[in-house]
Amino acid sequence: MRAVKRRAAWLLHRVLFVCCATLLPFSVAMNAENDYAEQRARLLVDIAGMAASSASYTGRSSFSPRVMQAIERVPRHAFVPESQRAHAYENRPLPIGEGQTISQPFIVALMTDMLEPRPDDVVLEVGTGSGYQAAVLAELVARVYTVEVLESVGKRGAQVLRELGYDNVHTRIGDGYEGWPEHAPFDGIIVTAAAPHIPQPLIDQLKPGGRLVIPVGPSGGVQTLVLIRKHMDGSVTRSETIPVQFVPLTRTAD
């Protein structure tokens, strides 16, 4: 009888061990997601604080609720290398390899807000990079076309976007300086690399009433974040906001 009881106790222990072992990865994943949720919440507070403190330069003391909700929804940790995931929700740029970075979340929020995206807009992004900015835009507009000149970077960003289900984002490897004329004109254009001047093809591919957001300035130095508005008569006006520092806009001929 004792042997039977010991056998039953062993079996019960074995079943409990197997169940716990099965649940352990799920528990770890849930803890990680909870940690990310808390980190995202802190990030939103940080972005809101920076928006308020920089209002004299940007003209925006806060960002639209739609933009902030998009920043909250997009899993930034999925767009950074494994080695950087502990820092994914810190309000700073992070390296993603090949001399490229994922932009500071505050800058992503600011540039997106400057674009004033609407649900039915079609937007062009020049510089796919990690894919993070494209994902934020995809939460806000009907379609995003994004171009990356570095093949390995562009393919990796496109893969992450596909895995996360962003089927309204269309990617291409190519020279972003030339835009994507087959799908122009665009309601908005965001450039996530610094150009010494504003590429004329991008102005040409902007719809009347559209907006172009781009960092302009020397490679390796301090640039200025610029907003271009294209008016209904085709004329454009330029507004400068804050100093920024982006990787240079690379061309296929470079």
Q: Residues with catalytic annotation?
A: 103
DSSP 165: T
Instruction: Give which of 102, 134, 137, 101 is closest to 119, Cα–Cα.
Output: 137
Instruction: Specify the 3-state DSSP secondary structure of 75.
Output: coil
- In our burial notation (b when 16+ CB lie closer than 10 A, e otherwise), range 58-72 reads bebeebeebbbebbe
Residues in Cβ contact with 53 at an 8 Å cutoff, skipping those fewer than 6 apart: none
Write out the two tokens for 208.
């009347």
CA distances from 11 to 5, 23, 158, 247 (A): 10, 18, 48, 61
38: left (phi over 0), alpha (psi -120 to 50) or beta: alpha
* Residue 218: cis peptide before it, omega within 30 degrees of 0: no
Which residues are within 8 A (CB) of 160 and not within 5 positions of it... i.e. 6 or more apart?
A: 78, 79, 130, 131
